Amino acid sequence: QVQVVESGGGSVRAGGSLRLSCAASGYKYDNACMGWFRQAPGKEREVVATIYSGGDTYYHDSVKGRFTISQDNAKNTVHLDMNSLKTEDTAMYYCATENLSPYYCVNPRDRYFGFWGRGTQVTVSS
């Protein structure tokens, strides 16, 4: 029913940049919150960034100042611009969306989100 599709992953060298995109469709109601998550092998999944209605945002401390999340509300599309990439950023990146209030959107936990993409791999080499 609801489809979430990520794109833009790939392999880059440390210090480089990459832009991820996510398109969500098929909602039966408005899902105001969209977010990016990542999981590296042997590690827990973590929230990278979230955005509410193209406005309020959350960033994990490890990416603050390097990554930027933005949203195209009309097309239900969200982007993650990643700069100054580090090897520690290597992970599978997932996009997700859910009908959340502003508070829960910017104080996010992955369990809050019900609609997930299949992920796109980002590999950063030294």
Rounded to whole angstroms, the Cα distance separating 87 from 122 reads 10
Give the integer Cα–Cα distance in Å for 106 and 26.
23
Instruction: Give the per-residue pLDDT at 68.
Output: 98
* pLDDT exceeds 70 at position 29: no
C-alpha 28/C-alpha 16 separation (Å) is 38
User: What does the pLDDT average to over 14-33?
Assistant: 88
- Looking at residue 73, its pLDDT comes to 67
Q: How confident is the model at residue 123 (pLDDT cuts 50, 70, 90)?
A: very high
Token pair recorded at residue 94: 């997932």
Question: Which candidate, 75, 74, 113, 110, places its Cα nearest to that of 97?
Answer: 113
Q: How confident is the model at residue 26 (pLDDT cuts 50, 70, 90)?
A: confident
- Residue 89 in contact with residue 82, Cβ under 8 Å? yes
pLDDT of residue 46: 97
**pLDDT at residue 78 in the model:** 95
**What confidence tens digit (pLDDT) does each residue in 44-88 have?**
999 999 999 889 999 999 999 999 999 986 668 999 999 999 999
Cα angle, residue 67 at apex, residues 62 and 68 outer, rounded to 5°:
135
Report strand pairing: 120-125 vs 10-13.
Answer: parallel
Mean pLDDT computed over 19-26: 94
pLDDT at residue 119 tops 80: yes
Q: What pLDDT does 114 receive?
A: 95
**pLDDT score, position 82:** 98
Please check the confidence at residue 113 and state whether its pLDDT lies above 90: yes
